[in-house]
Chains A and B, each alone.
Chain A
Amino acid sequence: MIINWYTVFFQIINFIALVFLLRRYLYGPIIESMAARESKIIEREEAAAKIASEAVAQGLDYKQKVTTLQDRDAEVLAKVKENAEIESRQLLAKAREQVDETHKRWHEAVAREQESFIHNLRSQVGRQACRIAKQCLKELADEKLETMIWAIFPRKLQELSPEEKNKLQKAFDGAQKVLLRSTFKPTEEKLQELTVNLSEIFGKKVQLTQQTSTDLICGVELEVGGYRIAWSVIEYLSEMEKEILEHLHKSGNKKGTADA
């Protein structure tokens, strides 16, 4: 017989024994080991997924923070620019004000200088004119200037217009005093003569007070109760001053336009 039942029985026993032995020493440990590794891998994957989700959340958080900071930066920058613009405008306005102020002061100083110069010039020119006139009168006509002035002044009074005489009369009625100011002191005779002339004009006796003044420059001034009649070089000099000032103004404007 090709089948040995004794061997068959032994082989069945052997196979069953092998099944249990391999279950004990092969399948059980290997399956457990693989399961343990699998669970560890799952744990690691879960941990990695958790870390990844945390990282993503942190990334989003940082992104939001960066966006907020950028927005804030832009706001701060805009504010700084605005402040700088305002400051710049203020400083510019202040600088312009200072320049205008300096310019104005300079103009005032120039005007003062001009005025002072003109005033001095007028005085100098007047004095020089008087001196020359006196010299001319003395050398050419053998006459003194003051004598000529005192000779002409009564005549000027006589030549006053009726309107002016009327005003003078009204002023005299209110004051009763007459002040005579002159560059040169008149002689007593001239003074008496003038008093008589004035008394004739006003029709009353006049109390004349004489006062010497260098400001008049070759002239005589009569003041009655706030009304004043003068005859002097100052009037001519004032005309000359006016012309010089106009000339200076024109020169100044031309220079200013050229500078601009």
Chain B
Amino acid sequence: MNINPDELIIYQLGWFQINATILVTWIIMAFLVIGSWLVTRRLTSEGPLTRGQNLLEVLVTMITEQIEEVSRQTPGPYLPFIGTLFIFIAVANLLSVVPGYIPPTSSLSTTTALAISVFIAVPVFGITRHSLKHYAKQYLQPTFFMLPFNIIGEISRTLALAVRLYGNIMSGTIIVAILLTITPLFFPVIMQVLGLLTGLIQAYIFAILAMVYIASASKAHQKIEDKGE
């Protein structure tokens, strides 16, 4: 059984190729951006709100509150990154109710890309918030000998982040596929519903973990700075 969307080539011109993962991702991106633009082009700060504005405000408020709760910091700088992670993964997973749809998150390449993004974002936010020197000191804590272990910890958690999402979504897709062959009528529907829940939970877990990593890095630096002072 081959359900890896990376291997499903849609278009190829020389080395340039567009596989199902990339295409579906673009579709999701277009859906999100166009949907957002359609809603936000007619925003109002007075009177009754439109349904779209209400939905987006609820979503943004919820994400902001979660970021604030986890990081205990101003959510403003983290909102675009964490919010996009959650929205993208959630939409990608929820669209799996559409027949024939293969979620890009069932591709290890996508989850790896997202995990690498988090892997990069952690030092970027840490350095932006403080400085490179202070951030680098974190890897030497508590002693210089802990540097390899700290680096391994960073890589392993990035790997875990990628594999967790991939494993959950891919397994869901595989289970549905297997069940379709065994009991084609009833169980796949239940598993599909369960898959929606799993997808949403995974989006939440991924975004929250990313926020925890970023926030812990910022806080650790903060502690080092406090000690230094």
Contact = CB atoms under 8 A, between A and B. Distances in A.
A23 interface: yes
A11 interface: yes
A37 to B, nearest CB: 4
5 contacts: A14-B113, A15-B113, A18-B32, A20-B80, A33-B45
Contacts of B32: 18, 21-22, 26
Interface stretch (A1-9, A71-79, A81-89, A91-99): A1-9
Interface in B93-138: 104, 107-110, 112-114, 116-117
A37 B45 contact: yes
Interface in A14-34: 14-23, 25-27, 29-34
B151 interface: no
B29 A17 contact: yes
Given A20-B80, A21-B29, 12 more contacts: A2-B4, A4-B7, A4-B19, A5-B109, A10-B22, A14-B25, A15-B117, A22-B80, A25-B37, A29-B43, A34-B60, A40-B45
B84 A22 contact: yes
Given A4-B19, A8-B116, A18 B29 contact: yes
Nearest to A6: B17
Contact of A25 (B33, B88, B112): B33
Contacts of B83: 22, 26-27
Nearest to A26: B36
A12 B112 CA distance: 9
Interface in A24-58: 25-27, 29-34, 36-37, 40
B46 interface: yes
B21 A11 contact: yes
B140 interface: no
A145 B120 CA distance: 173
Contacts of B79: 27, 31
B81 A19 contact: yes
B45 to A, nearest CB: 4
A14 to B, nearest CB: 5
Contacts of A8: 109-110, 112-113, 116
A12 to B, nearest CB: 5
Interface residues of B, number: 42
A176 B60 CA distance: 152
Contact of B80 (A3, A4, A7, A23): A23
Interface of B: 4, 6-7, 17, 19, 21-22, 25-26, 29, 32-33, 36-37, 40, 43-46, 53, 56-57, 60-61, 76, 79-81, 83-84, 87-88, 104, 107-110, 112-114, 116-117
A11 B25 contact: yes
A26 B26 contact: no
Contact of B36 (A2, A16, A22): A22
A27 B29 CA distance: 15
B107 A7 contact: yes
A222 B154 CA distance: 169
A154 B7 CA distance: 191
A73 to B, nearest CB: 50
Contacts of A19: 80-81, 84
